Amino acid sequence: MSQTVTPYLEMSQAIMEAGGEALKKCYQCGTCTGTCPWTPITHFNIRKLVRFGQLGLDGIEDLMWDCSTCKFCVDRCPRGVEIIDIVTAIRNVYSGGGMLPQSLRAFVGSMSARGNPWSGDQSKRNDWAGGKYPLYTADHEYLFWTCCTVCYDPRNVRLARATAEILNLAGISWGMPAVDVNCCGESLRKVGDLELFDRLKNNNLDYFKSQGVSKIITVSPHCLATFKKDYGEDYEVLHFSELMAKLVKEGKITPKKDFGGLKVTYHDPCYLGRHSGIYDAPRDLLKSLPGVEFVEMERSREQSMCCGGGGGGLWMEKAKGERLSDLRIEEAMATGAQVLATACPYCITMFEDSSRTLNVDEQIKIKDVTELLLESLDINIDEPVVDTCAI
Amino acid sequence: MSFEPKILGIACNWCTYTGADLAGTTRLQYPQNLRVVRVMCSSRINPSFIFRAFQLGADGVLVGGCHPGDCHYNTGNLYARRRLAVTKKILEFSGLEPGRFRVEWISASEGNKFAEVVTEFTEQIKNLGPQTKFKIEQ
Amino acid sequence: MATSFKQIEEKLKTEAAKLLESGSVSLVLAYGKGYDEKHPMPYVAKCASDVANIVFNEFCTYNMARYLVRYPRGTKIAVAVKAADSRAVIQLIQEEKVKREDLVILGIPVSGMKNPKTGETIDSKTTCGLYNPVLYDVLLGEEVHGQPVVSPYDVLAGYEAMDKDARWAFWQKEFDRCIRCYACRKACPMCYCDPCFIDQTKPKWGDKSPEPAGNLMYHLTRFHHLAGRCIDCGECSRACPVDIPLYLFHKKVAKECEEMFGQAAGMSIEDKPALVNFRVDDSDKILE
Amino acid sequence: MSRIGVFVCHCGLNIAKTVRVSELAEFAATLPDVVVAKDYKFMCSTPGQEMIANDIKEHRLDRVIVTACSPLMHEQTFRKVLAASGLNQYLLSIVNIREQVSWVTHDIEEGTAKSKALLNGAVNRARLLAPLTSRVIDVNPDVMVVGAGIAGIQAALELANTGKKVYLVEKNSTIGGHMAQFDKTFPTLDCSACILTPKMDNVLQHKNITLMTSCEVTEVKGFVGNFDITVKQKARYVDHDKCNACLACTEKCPGKGVSEWDEGLVKRKAIYIPFPQAVPQKPVIDRDACTYFIKGKCRLCEKVCEQKAIDFEQQDTSTTVKVGAVIVATGYDLMDTKPLLQYGYGRYPGVYNALEVERLFNSAGPTGGKVTLRDGREPQAIAIFHCIGSRDKNNYEHCSRVCCMYSLKFAHLFKEKTSADVYQFYIDMRAAGKGYEEFYNRIIEEDVKFIRGKGARVAESADEPGRLIVEAEDTITGKFIKLPVDMVVLSPAMKPRADSKDIARLFNLSTDKYGFFMERHPKLAPLSTMSEGIFIAGVCQSPKDIPDTVAQAYGAAAEALTIVVKDKLELEATTAMVNPASCCACLNCVRVCPYGAPFFNEQKGVSEINEALCKGCGLCASVCPSSAIIARHFTNDQVLAEMEGLMEF
């Protein structure tokens, strides 16, 4: 096979126009590849992706779907290249040409048809609440933005309910969105469908405006980062862990139950940590739980590993040995922790899958910090939950 | 006869005035409507000079200084940038056509740019027509 | 909650007496009786017995910061200030006309001040729209809360929407009425030049008699001199005998300065006056 | 009433082709106060100049306008004509009708009309011109050099050899700077001490050099030719006049301090000299490590000192030095790499920074020149990471320029002193310098492994305790490298001294965003600064190697000499002054002046301007709201009059 290539600058131009302007800055030092959590376990090479993009070369198709947008490389890049923007732009240009991988088609299709990634029936979005909680009105202080994943995914519905109960206990004035809102669109944007993302975004912004929303609580860091950075409008957006840490600190809620020396470690979700700069709130929460022994993993905070669920990864299949969540679970177990806590429904989903396939789901439990907090407050939400997931 | 505007230029000695000389040395052609006052630094320009220039009947005023960061006096043009920006806003809010006042950074090596800016600005002032608002009728 | 002017007056008297008696200040700038209730006057209490003459009512609009620069540097002064007035004090501190340590700032939180001429309530249309002093040592009353938050620049919308010719016509008409009495600069806490540029003969910046060209030169240059310094107390316009809405132009310049330089006048003693300052990364866009 | 003469130059056809010069002269003659107006072929020629000189006398002219080429061309020429004719040279006005008229139009109508307008403006302005006198000041012939690294040493020696008296100020207790810490220097691999210590000794012996170690500049007053500089002598607690350098004290001292000289790799005594060849070779006491200062008793050094040189009561003292010029050569620090968590510096003992490694190679260093790790082992594999914090938006954007070469030098010395495998992790290999590419080739042939990819991470090996794993991408193959090594060397960014911003404030220098001093012009005045009489040399201006630093030191010495060789200095006449009657004490002038020329006179309650510092930019005049500042030669009146003239036609 000939190795001769001709740079195809129209293609690199198209990538830059789709938001990958930063292509120009890269000087190919390889810091990104050396930093990327995928490099040691897959063929994915982020520097090569950028290089191919710079020259508009073929072969990019095999590289572009692996990035989980964990932002580790961006933070380390000596040239300040917004690598995620490049990845998004490349995906946009290629998926526009019909090169979307099979596994993502259902995801994008559901987003387009139903406004959520889980093929959920839009009218059932709020079924998790069982009619117990109010819809947001202008009289409420906070809109509790329920991520689609906590509305439709049976494992994560617990998060929605836990959050709702804690909010009530703390006496917060809140309401949930109407059923006709859409997914925040974060993952969709990262898989490159910028046009559909704009549609979802505008629909949600219309909703915010029509209801006079000014303060939003999110349970998913992905919604949080998107509202803050990609919606282009100024709302006060808080991650649930921030609000809870504040309430605990102020003594508005007090964890009671003693966990009796339960060893807990914490995984920083990329979109809460590196994307949003929130590292302390969830840790403060865990440390406030009586009888919890908190341990750090070797890689934590700014240096945390990725679970692999970002950037569309949640909807893609990965072969054994090529799953970051597997590695992360092993790292968590190396600390001796009985619980791997995190603060993101995507991470929860990835880790639950891995702990089952690794057959360690008895040794280490996967929990959201919200769930642990709920437990410590002695609230029981374990009444039967209707399965709302249409899949 | 077509309208031939009077344009006042105020140029700093070290960059724009020298750049204007370079335009001459390289024989670039540009309209003759501009008359330049040389000052040592664009920061010497008192806002009242600009107001006065329009009262004297200038149809346009063009200020030239060194590029920010290259000021012969270190920071003069960084002050000038702010002060002239405010001058411009005041002129605009008073009702003068915004296009009549312009600030450009032209270095000693940018003879081309000087000629281009003068040509373009003269054209712009021609399109705006005579300046009558500030002008004091004798 | 409506402001109790009587209570403020009492507190003002008490504080003034205390300060003068203890000798910690040598004078107190406040308000005194005028020829009727609607026309209180600026008043300087110099000893404890003067304190009885102090008044405070809804017509005490004067910005007493105006008088700070009249006294020799180092004079210990207590000054009674409302919200915008306190910004003038801050601005004067920034400009090193007065030192923070020489002042005792008696802050007056107040809503419902009235324009003595028109009887209208003074709000964000003609002033900065704050109710509580930004800086004070003693607060003479409860902070005002619950007033509608309105941008002081909202009032500009109509004027900004005018086309250039309409704006020119508007200002020409206003400036043509100017009789050059200079009440505006007298009332202004930031106009402390002596002589004012317009009074000079070398150079002669403009005619001294009221005529259009000199009027234009005077006002435009004054707007520039106050750019980034005007704290929007509105006193110039209330002082104007022919009711030129100078505050509109000042507000516009203040708004532009705030947008371009990221700071409002007289909000922090740490700031440097914006027009004798720069940032290397100021954008060239501000010149467009 | 003025008597103005107007002289219109044809410049051959350069002007006359597109400006009707005789018509212009006739026009000039019609303007008020113009008593003579002539045109001539070449005004700058000798007959042209003579014509002007004659007319000045004959017509008793008190203002001269030359309508010719740019003032940047011939203003000086015609000023001399005025001066020779007994007229103050500032009573000249030049109208630029060549560069800015005749050369930029083909249309003679346009050219003539514009020339008339410009001339009219000049006549207006000329009436208001005032005679100005330049101030002449005496120049102090001495020079101060701040910083005694290789740059400061070289500059001081050069100046001293010309017979000038030099004050060499050094913050540390010895001179020598970073160069004295090195073992070998690239690319020649000659011994650093062998070339530096003779110079250090020269400094000590030189009769024209006053060496001021353990000293810091605390205040700078005055201006070019006449600086008054206050220097603080920090207490050494040893009277160096009495000390005979027997060093008995250092043997007995029980105190332990961290050796700055050895980059903290070892301890030193509390009374110490940093290294055997230190200059001066007399000890000082480190107060923070001294047992007496900590616990209140000990004084062993005092007991063993036969010279009675120990003085625990010594205090910091200040002296003021008068000099005519200053050279600032304060050098650099290495960036602190601890915050770059991925490299594990400060956490893993096997990770070193470049200066620490320099000390490991040095025979006077902590290991006696043997390359051993902190645990005493000899490394078997060594990774050298280039560009740590350099070329990095998150830290320092500049290339530190010397790291590629010293990293190669390290590789060579590692190969020479150990049997280790050596790996270079680099982004680009920069070898632009005399003999540098050749040096690079030599190191390649020494079988050093080059991995083109920036080092990404250092971790502890899980399998082999004490070993490190380095991770990086080899961008040439696109493969992820995981390499077990024993030692990692970081080549960190060079940054200005931590106190460079303070130095900049003292000497009124400008700095870039990192604190490197700004030169007056990057190409044409690389050693001068915007402060007249203050020069810079070496890495305090930007990262550079020893040859460039030394070259700059020679240059800075020559620059300083251009000032101090003269007895007198003529200062700019076109300065600003304050009319005290109009000053409203707003202090705007004080705030804005880049040179610190205006100051507030508390007593008079007005601002004043130190004309020796003023460069005549006029900024103060434009920020003065009450028009109290007169920018000489560009006064408000003069500018307004010129504008009026220009707009009239």
The answer to whether the Cβ–Cβ distance between A33 and D453 falls below 8 Å is yes
Q: Among B55, B82, B96, whose Cβ lies nearest the Cβ of C275?
A: B82
Per the CB < 8 Å rule, is B74 touching D96?
no
Closest Cα to residue C246, out of C202, C181, C197?
C181
Q: Are strands D468-474 and D284-285 parallel, antiparallel or unpaired?
A: unpaired
Q: Are residues D181 and D279 in the same domain?
A: no
Q: Do residues D345 and D488 share a domain?
A: yes
Average pLDDT score over residue span D337-343: 96
CB neighbourhood size of A221 (10 A): 29
Domain assignments of chain B as residue spans, ordered by start: 7-128
Which comes out higher in pLDDT, residue C32 or D570?
C32
Domain spanning B7-128: CATH superfamily:
Lumazine/riboflavin synthase (3.40.50.960)
Q: How far is CA C161 from CA C154, C157, C158, C167, D508, in A?
A: 12, 6, 5, 9, 47
User: How far off is chain B from D624, nearest CA to CA, in Å?
Assistant: 9
Query: pLDDT by residue (tens digit) across D282-307?
Result: 999 999 999 999 999 999 999 999 99
Q: Do D472 and A30 touch (CB under 8 A)?
A: yes
State how far the alpha carbon of A84 is from the alpha carbons of A45, A46, A189, D407, in Å: 14, 10, 11, 33
Judgement on whether residues D584 and D560 belong to the same structural domain of the protein = no
Rounded to the nearest 5 degrees, what angle is found at the Cα of D220, between the Cα atoms of D219 and D224? 175
Q: How far is D129 from chain A (nearest CA, A)?
A: 54
Q: Cβ contacts (< 8 Å) between D639 and chain B: which residues?
A: 37, 39, 44, 46, 49
CB contact, 8 Å: C49 with chain B?
A: no
- Number of Cβ within a 10 Å radius of residue A305: 21
Tell me if chain C has a CB within 8 Å of the CB of B94: yes
Which residues lie below 8 Å from residue A74, measured CB to CB, with a gap of 6+? Answer: A81, A82, A83, A84, A274
CA distance B1 to chain C (A): 26
CB distance from C157 to chain B under 8 Å? no
Residues A81, A87, A92, A97, CA torsion sign? positive
User: At which of D532, D564, D596 does a domain end?
Assistant: D564
- Model pLDDT, residue D521: 75
Give percent of chain B above pLDDT 70. 99
Please name the helix (run of DSSP H) or strand (run of DSSP E) that holds residue D4, with its range, or none.
strand D4-9
| Interface contacts (C, D; CB < 8 Å) | 42
Beta bridge partners of D137: D569
pLDDT one digit per residue (tens) for chain C, 288 residues: 567 899 999 999 999 999 999 999 999 999 999 999 899 999 999 999 999 999 999 999 999 999 999 999 999 999 999 999 999 999 999 999 999 999 999 999 999 899 999 999 999 999 999 999 999 999 999 998 878 888 999 999 999 999 999 999 999 999 999 999 999 999 999 999 989 999 998 889 999 899 999 999 999 999 999 999 999 999 999 999 999 999 999 999 999 999 999 999 999 999 999 999 999 889 999 999
Predicted confidence band at A389 (pLDDT cuts at 50, 70, 90)? Answer: very low
Token readout for B47 is: 């806002």
Angle at A128 between CA A125 and CA A129, to 5 degrees: 105
D582: closest chain C residue by CA: C195
Chain B hits for C252, CB-CB cut-off 8 Å, are: 89, 93
Higher-pLDDT residue of A201, B72: A201
Q: Are residues D524 and D483 in the same domain?
A: no
Tokens of C66: 């105006």
To the nearest whole Å, the CA of B84 is away from the closest chain C CA by 7
Phi-psi group of A265: left, alpha or beta (phi > 0 → left; psi -120 to 50 → alpha; rest → beta): beta
Q: What pLDDT sits at residue D439?
A: 97
Sequence-distant (6+) residues with CB within 8 A of C123 are C129, C150
Kindly provide the ipTM of the predicted complex, given to two decimals: 0.61
Q: Is A173 exposed, middle or buried (0-12, 13-18, 19+ CB in 10 A)?
A: exposed
What domain range is D206 assigned to?
143-231+316-331+497-564
For residues C125 and C122, what is the distance between their CA atoms, to the nearest angstrom?
8
C37-46: per-residue pLDDT in tens?
A: 899 999 999 9
Question: Mean pLDDT of all residues in chain D?
Answer: 95
Residues D238-242 have a mean pLDDT of 95
pLDDT exceeding 90 applies to what percent of chain D?
92
Using a threshold of 3 CB pairs under 8 A, tell whether chains D and A touch. yes
Query: Of C168, C170, C278, which is closest to B133 when you measure between CB atoms?
Result: C168
Chains that touch C (3 or more CB pairs under 8 A): B, D
Choosing from D493, D513, D544, the residue where a domain stops is: D493
**Domain contains D644:** no
Using a CB–CB cutoff of 8 Å, tell me whether C33 touches chain D. Answer: no
User: Per-residue confidence at A388, pLDDT binned at 50, 70, 90?
Assistant: very low
* Cα–Cα nearest to A152, from A122, A177, A196, A188: A122
Question: Which of the two residues, D152 and A94, has the higher pLDDT score?
Answer: D152
* Per-residue model confidence (pLDDT) at position A383: 55
CATH number, domain of D607, equals: 3.30.70.20
Task: Write the CATH number for D167.
Answer: 3.50.50.60
Model confidence pLDDT, tens digit, residues B11-41: 999 899 999 999 999 999 999 999 999 999 9
Q: How many domains does chain D have?
A: 5
Low-confidence residues of chain B: pLDDT under 50: none
Each residue of C229-255: pLDDT tens digit?
999 999 999 999 999 999 999 999 999
D592 part of contact set with chain B, CB < 8 Å: yes
The rounded mean pLDDT for chain B is: 94
Tell me what percent of the residues of chain A surpass a pLDDT of 90: 83
Examine the pLDDT at A387 and tell me if it is beyond 50.
Answer: no
Q: What is the pLDDT of residues C55-86, one digit of tens each?
A: 999 999 999 999 999 999 999 999 999 999 99
pLDDT of A382 over the 70 cut: no
Q: How far is D479 from chain A (nearest CA, A)?
A: 9
D96 touches chain B (CB under 8 A): yes
> What is the pTM assigned to this prediction?
0.72
Distance CA A5, CA A55 (A): 10
Task: Count H helices and E strands in chain D, helices first.
Answer: 17, 34
The two three-digit tokens of residue A309, written as one number: 């669920």
Question: Residue C2: what pLDDT?
Answer: 67
Determine contact: C218 vs chain B, CB below 8 A. no
Q: Determine contact, residues B78/D594, Cβ cutoff 8 Å.
A: no
Task: Note whether D327 and D340 are same-domain residues.
Answer: no
Question: Per mean pLDDT, which range of A287-291, A329-333, C2-6, D137-141 is the poorest?
Answer: C2-6
Q: What are the percentages of helix, strand and coil residues in chain A, rounded to 5?
A: 45, 10, 45
The partner residues of D325 in beta bridges, in order of sequence, read D143
Q: Please report which helix (H) or strand (E) contains residue A162, including its range.
A: helix A154-169
Can you give the residue ranges of every domain in chain C? 5-139, 154-287
Tell me if chain B has a CB within 8 Å of the CB of D104.
yes
Inside any domain, residue D240: no
**For the residues of D547-600, what is the DSSP string, one character each?**
HHHHHHHHHHHHHHHHHHT-SEEEPPSS-EEE-TTT-----HHHHH-TT--EEE
Q: Does D241 map to a domain?
A: no
Q: Has residue A384 got a pLDDT over 80?
A: no
Specify whether the CB–CB gap between B62 and B54 falls below 8 A: no
- Closest CA in chain D for residue B115: D104
Burial class (CB in 10 A: 0-12, 13-18, 19+), D501: middle
Residue A377 gets which letter from DSSP? T
Q: Above 50 in pLDDT, residue A386?
A: no
